[in-house]
Amino acid sequence: MVFRKLMAAFGAGVEVDTVLSTPTVRPGEPLRGVVNFKSGGSDYKVDGITIDLTAVVEVESGDNEYKTTYSFLRQQVAGSFQLAAGAAHAQPFEIPVPWETPISAIGGHPLHGMRLGVQTELALAGALDKGDLDPLHVAPLPAQEHVIGALDRMGFRFKKADLERGTLYGSTMPFFQEIEYYAGGQWRGHFNELELTFIAGPTQMDVILEADKRGGFLSSSHDSYNRFTVRYGDNPGAAEQALQAGLEQMARRRGWF
C-alpha cells in the first residue's frame, strides 16, 4: 500500500491511498475499492471524497492535434467527516462503470494508445486535491469480444486505439473510441485500414465500421461506412454474421463483391 501526502491549508498533511478491489472491470459492472486515510498531527475536517473516471482524448483543432483529459464520470463517495489527529480512516466505494466506457485492455493486456484512469478528489480544510491518476483497465463485453475475435480470424491486424473528441449518434459520451486495424486476408484487396467503434448499452450495442477503401483502375480511394446492432442475448455467431455482412456491403463496387 503506497500512500501519498496531501498538503492542505497551512501545511497540514494527510496521507491518502486508493486501492481498487476490481482492477479490471467491464462496462456496466461496478467498480469497487477503498480510500484509505492517515491523519497527521492535527484534527481535520474532510469536506468530501469524489471518485473521478477520466480518459485521455485526442482533439483536432484546425491543422493541430493535441491531447487532453476528459472526466466521464464523477461520483461523490463520502460526505463531510472529522479525521482526528493520528487516526486512520477507510472509505469503501462502489460506482457503476458507464456502458459506453472505452476498452483499455484485451485478454489481460493493455490496449496500445489507451489511457483511462481513476482519480480520488479530496476536499480538505478548504483545499481541493485531485491526487494521482491510477490506471483503470476496462475489458470488453462478451459481445465486443465476439466482434474483435471475428476480425482476428478474418485476418485483420491490430494497429492502435485512441479516443476522439465528439459525440456520435446514439451516444452520450463527449468522445468515442476508434480501434484501428490493418486489413488482411481476403479484405486486403478491398481496404487499406479499418476502424471499429462500439456504442454499448444495457441490452445491445451498435457497431460502427469505417474503412479506407482501396481505389480501382479509374477511381480513387475513399472511406466507406457501415453500422449494425448486436443484441447481447443473440447467438454469438450472429455478431460475426452481421460483421461479415457489413464488410461485404462496404467492399462492393459496381454491384459486385
Q: What confidence tier does 125 reach under pLDDT thresholds 50, 70, 90?
A: low
| pLDDT at residue 27 in the model | 97
More confident residue, 126 or 101: 101
CB 166 within 8 A of CB 175: yes
| Percent above pLDDT 70 for the chain | 86
State mean pLDDT over 121-130. Answer: 69
| pLDDT at residue 82 in the model | 84
| pLDDT at residue 40 in the model | 75
Q: What is the pLDDT of residues 6-25, one digit of tens each?
A: 444 334 567 778 889 887 99
Q: What is the pTM of this model?
A: 0.85
Tell me the residue type at 133.
L
State mean pLDDT over 194-214. Answer: 92
134 forms beta bridges with: 118
Cβ partners under 8 Å of residue 71, min gap 6: 52, 53, 54
* Three-state secondary structure call for residue 149: helix
d(CA 190, CA 248): 10
pLDDT score of 63 more than 90: no
Q: What domains lie within the chain, and their CATH numbers?
A: 4-138 (2.60.40.640), 142-251 (no CATH)
Strand runs labelled E in 103-245:
105-106, 109-110, 116-124, 127-129, 133-135, 137-138, 157-165, 175-182, 191-200, 204-213, 222-231
State mean pLDDT over 97-122. Answer: 92
State mean pLDDT over 107-123. Answer: 89
CB 204 within 8 A of CB 231: yes
| Percent above pLDDT 90 for the chain | 52
| pLDDT at residue 133 in the model | 75
Q: What is the pLDDT of residues 158-192, one digit of tens each?
A: 999 999 999 999 999 999 999 999 998 889 888 99
